[in-house]
A and B are shown apart, each in its own frame.
Chain A
Amino acid sequence: NAGVTQTPKFQVLKTGQSMTLQCAQDMNHEYMSWYRQDPGMGLRLIHYSVGAGITDQGEVPNGYNVSRSTTEDFPLRLLSAAPSQTSVYFCASSYWDGVNTDTQYFGPGTRLTVL
């Protein structure tokens, strides 16, 4: 199993550009989520999904869109990049029993810089 994979590893954008961060998992997990990690702020939830076709907002959703068309993939779209979105982005997946998640597995992260 590859686990959770993320692409790209690094990305530099100019203010106003859009892009998509890719996330895929091969563990057949229903639950997937996106976090951003900033110095002094810890990890904060952006969006999450409990299955194909179902998404919901987390703590810091503004400026980001998600969709979940398959169980395996959960892309994160930046609509119009801003310097405040400079961060490290992590995707995670987990088994979901309809109420609770089990062990969460994280991808290696995407380091994004917005100039």
Chain B
Amino acid sequence: KQEVTQIPAALSVPEGENLVLNCSFTDSAIYNLQWFRQDPGKGLTSLLLIQSSQREQTSGRLNASLDKSSGRSTLYIAASQPGDSATYLCAVKEAGTALIFGKGTTLSVSS
């Protein structure tokens, strides 16, 4: 059974730092991997989608990489800002199923 793990569970950094959030999954037979952002009391906002054939995707200050063979993905946030404070969720898509989520990393960026 696929399991998705996110480390660390929580992270506090000062504004301006570059940071990396980690996601690992146990079964490499995935179709894609998606990173989401969730603000308190809100829904999920899609940040980046990486197809299984891709190695990375970039959007603004965000860069996500995927290494299927090792079962890992990282979300890199450059020059962090207080507005980046949120919970970041990683989810993988397998054949015939819906997304399987990790439990998230809660990021706090202080000014």
Contact = CB atoms under 8 A, between A and B. Distances in A.
A64 B101 CA distance: 21
B101 A43 contact: yes
A99 B102 contact: no
Quick one: which of A33, A40, A42, A107 has the most chain B CB within 10 A? A42
Contact of A42 (B32, B93, B97, B101): B101
B-side interface mostly: strand
Interface string B99-110: 101111000000
Contacts of B104: 42
Contacts of A1: none
B36 to A, nearest CB: 8
Contacts of A42: 89, 101-104
Interface of B: 31-32, 34, 36, 42-46, 49, 89, 91, 93, 95, 97-99, 101-104
21 contacts: A4-B43, A42-B103, A43-B89, A43-B101, A45-B98, A45-B99, A90-B43, A90-B44, A92-B99, A99-B31, A100-B31, A101-B93, A101-B98, A102-B32, A103-B46, A103-B49, A104-B34, A104-B91, A106-B36, A106-B43, A109-B42
Interface of A: 4, 33, 35, 40-43, 45, 48, 58, 90, 92, 99-109
Given A43-B91, A108-B42, 15 more contacts: A4-B43, A40-B103, A42-B101, A42-B103, A43-B99, A43-B101, A58-B98, A92-B99, A100-B95, A101-B31, A101-B93, A103-B49, A104-B46, A106-B46, A109-B43
